[in-house]
Amino acid sequence: MIQEIHAKTILNHVKQPDDWFGLKYNMNLYRGCQHQCIYCDSRSTCYRIENFADIHVKVNAIELLADALPRKRVRGTIGFGSMNDPYMPVERKSQLCRRALEIIAENRFPVHIITKSDLVLRDLDLLAQINADSYAAVSFTITTADDELARKIEPGAPPSSARFAAMKTLSDAGIHTGVTMMPVLPFIADTIKNIEKLLELCYLRGAAYILPWFGLTLREGSREYFYAKLDKLFPGVKQKYMRQFGLRYECNSLYAPALYTRFNELRQQYGIADHMTIFAPEPVKKKTAQMNLF
């Protein structure tokens, strides 16, 4: 179900410091997500989203952003994609992301987008404009090199191959782009073979950085949904999770040490960073009217 709602605010301050993404502000233009990844933490009960498959479009988001952004005193990176994917299918029609990027470009603020969709290429012109004025980065979440496995665990998202192709286009256009390689699901994707193939594709497709985590988070709400999907898609794997992790929040792969070792060997071989280049917040330079000499 897709319905329209009115938000009270749209631009939120990020708790500092943000060493991973360098965000100063964060923005969610939608509530819920159509990609329906089986591991998504946003289903957790603490976020109070009754049905994560229901999509709420914040129809007044652009108006709120146009009002809020010119009043900011600090120019810092605005993040897209913390609670859902900003480029899910509904964006093709609503174009909230594109209109938001137009406002951001007009005010010369930097952006960082996290997505699983090649739809981001539609807005390459605006990202290039923002990048010329300040900074634009796009991170693609890619956790497996196998398109068939990606379709199982991320059923509403474009396949990994489409994300890699989009990353190459962005990289060639000079946009700072890379991969958030997380979560790498224990007992499903945490193999040396998968990591080696992912690193090879990152290198071939122009990734400047990779941010890995060989594990996932599970808590009330997201755990129950994830386990139900495991029973359907990967019979017997739920029992392995229950035995190994119990009710733990952080579920790290048993093979994490070996995976990190191999990851770093290949990352250094390919010349890929394990961190992003970020934009340092700075005071907004207000435009002043020029006095008429006569």
- Establish if 288 belongs to a structural domain: no
- Establish if 84 belongs to a structural domain: yes
Let me know if 215 is exposed, middle or buried by CB neighbors in 10 A (0-12, 13-18, 19+).
buried
CATH number for 114? 3.80.30.30
Convert the pLDDT of each residue in 62-110 to its tens digit: 999 999 999 999 999 999 988 999 999 999 999 999 999 999 999 999 9
pLDDT tier, 293 (very low <50, low <70, confident <90, very high otherwise): very low
- Establish if 197 belongs to a structural domain: yes
How many domains does the chain divide into?
1
Cis peptide before 17 (omega within 30 of 0): yes
Convert the pLDDT of each residue in 252-277 to its tens digit: 999 999 999 999 999 999 999 999 99
pLDDT tier, 294 (very low <50, low <70, confident <90, very high otherwise): very low
- Establish if 107 belongs to a structural domain: yes
Q: How far apart are CA 283 and CA 183, in angstroms?
A: 35
Which pLDDT value is given to residue 43? 94
Q: Is 188's pLDDT higher than 90? A: yes
- Establish if 22 belongs to a structural domain: yes
Q: Is 289's pLDDT higher than 70? A: no
Convert the pLDDT of each residue in 141-180 to its tens digit: 999 999 999 999 999 999 999 999 999 999 999 999 999 9
Give the pairing of strands 55-58 and 30-31: antiparallel
Convert the pLDDT of each residue in 214-247 to its tens digit: 999 999 999 999 999 999 999 999 999 999 999 9
Q: Is 291's pLDDT higher than 80? A: no
Instruction: Output the 3-class SS for the chain.
Output: CEEEECCCCCCEECCCCCCCCCEEEEECCEECCCCCCCCCHHHCHHHCCCCCCCEEEECCHHHHHHHHHHHCCEECEEEECCCCCCCCCCHHHHCHHHHHHHHHHHHCCCEEEEECCHHHHHHHHHHHHHHHHCCEEEEEECCCCCHHHHHHHCCCCCCHHHHHHHHHHHHHCCCEEEEEECCCCCCCCCCHHHHHHHHHHHHHCCCCEEEECCEEECCCCHHHHHHHHHHHHCCCHHHHHHHHHCCCCEEECCCHHHHHHHHHHHHHHHCCECCCCCCCCEECCCCCCCCCCC
**Whether the predicted model's global pTM rises above the 0.85 cut:** yes
Residue 9 sits in which domain range?
A: 2-273
pLDDT tier, 287 (very low <50, low <70, confident <90, very high otherwise): low
Which pLDDT value is given to residue 17? 85
Which pLDDT value is given to residue 50? 83
- Establish if 82 belongs to a structural domain: yes
- Establish if 214 belongs to a structural domain: yes
**What is the residue whose two structure tokens read 């990048």?**
131
- Establish if 185 belongs to a structural domain: yes
Q: Is 120's pLDDT higher than 90? A: yes
% pLDDT > 90, the chain: 93
Q: Is 48's pLDDT higher than 50? A: yes
Q: How far apart are CA 105 and CA 253, in angstroms?
A: 41
